[in-house]
Amino acid sequence: MPGMQSSEDLPSTRRRDGIRFFVTVAGLTVIALVSVLAALVTAQEGNVSAARYCLLFAFIMALTIAYPTVVRYRRKDLAAAVRTVEHEGFQATQIRQSIWPFALLVAIMASWTAFFGMAAVDFLADQDDESTGAAVVMGALSAFFGSFPVAAATGRLRRGGVTLSGQGIAQRGWSFESKLDWSAIFAAPLTSLEGTRFPTILVGGSANANWIRRYTTRLWRIDRLPQVPVLQLDCNKFDVDPHVLNNYIRTYVDNPKMRHELGTEAALVRAREMQSAVTQLGR
């Protein structure tokens, strides 16, 4: 479609930090391999307990490697991420965030929970004062990390997305909810915020907007609400091209007469047409 660009044209996209990415992955891979080697050596020496820790640590490193990898490489077309939902009693169109970054983060936290939990049990089994103190510390760390997957299981932390309806745009972050009515929204540019390596869509609201927002958890506020009325859509959490996503949202921000499509098959058709246009342009 006219004016549609590839995310590779944005200076702050994944290609810009390619060297940093590959160096980090290489370093973590070495650590993981050393941990596996240590597990094999300690197992041969009969120290099965130490081997368990080495293998679990290697597994955590593998998950940590997977996290930036799935963020860096997008796989879905826009149409695959768009669906029709019911939102606050109205039919709406929702663009879901990628499941993989959030799922990997939950897996990493669950693995640290198991790591410190095993340590607490092993220290407690020694049955001396020094080991009991260490067991308390390990148990506290296990409970701390364990609160993350518990928050995910109860829905306080969840895979987010952005929902467009006839009333406005609602954002669900990993740890917050935020909403602006159409009357308050005036723009939705794609930009790169200072200190970030990924493009961001800023759905701007007027200064006196009726901005409804709240955090969904007290402890794990892993993404932050902005200080002003704006929906800050972090494109590295979506599994689609940032420019395609931005063009789709701007279609309804810039064209009020087209908002009747939201929550209907027409909005899904539009997503497919936009993706098809990008494909024809050589994506």
Q: How far apart are CA 147 and CA 138, in angstroms?
A: 14
pLDDT of residue 196: 61
Select the highest-mean-pLDDT range: 142-151, 180-189, 233-242, 273-282: 142-151
pLDDT of residue 4: 42
Q: Pick the more confident residue, 256 or 194.
A: 256
pLDDT of residue 262: 96
For the record, the structure tokens of 268 come out as: 């899904």
Given a cut of 50, whether residue 211 has pLDDT beyond it is yes
Q: How far apart are CA 142 and CA 184, in angstroms?
A: 44
What average pLDDT does the segment 162-185 reach? 95
pLDDT in tens, 41-88: 999 999 999 999 999 999 999 999 999 888 887 677 898 999 999 988
pLDDT in tens, 9-41: 444 444 556 788 889 999 999 999 999 999 999
Please report, to the nearest 10 degrees, the dihedral formed by the alpha carbons of residues 131, 134, 138, 141 taken in order: 160
Q: Are 74 and 244 in contact (CB under 8 A)?
A: no
Determine which helix (DSSP H) or strand (DSSP E) holds 247, and give its type and residue range. Answer: helix 242-254
Q: What angle do CA 187, 193, 199 make, to 5 degrees?
A: 75
Given a cut of 50, whether residue 6 has pLDDT beyond it is no
Mean pLDDT for the chain overall = 89
pLDDT of residue 194: 62
Given a cut of 70, whether residue 113 has pLDDT beyond it is yes
pLDDT of residue 10: 47
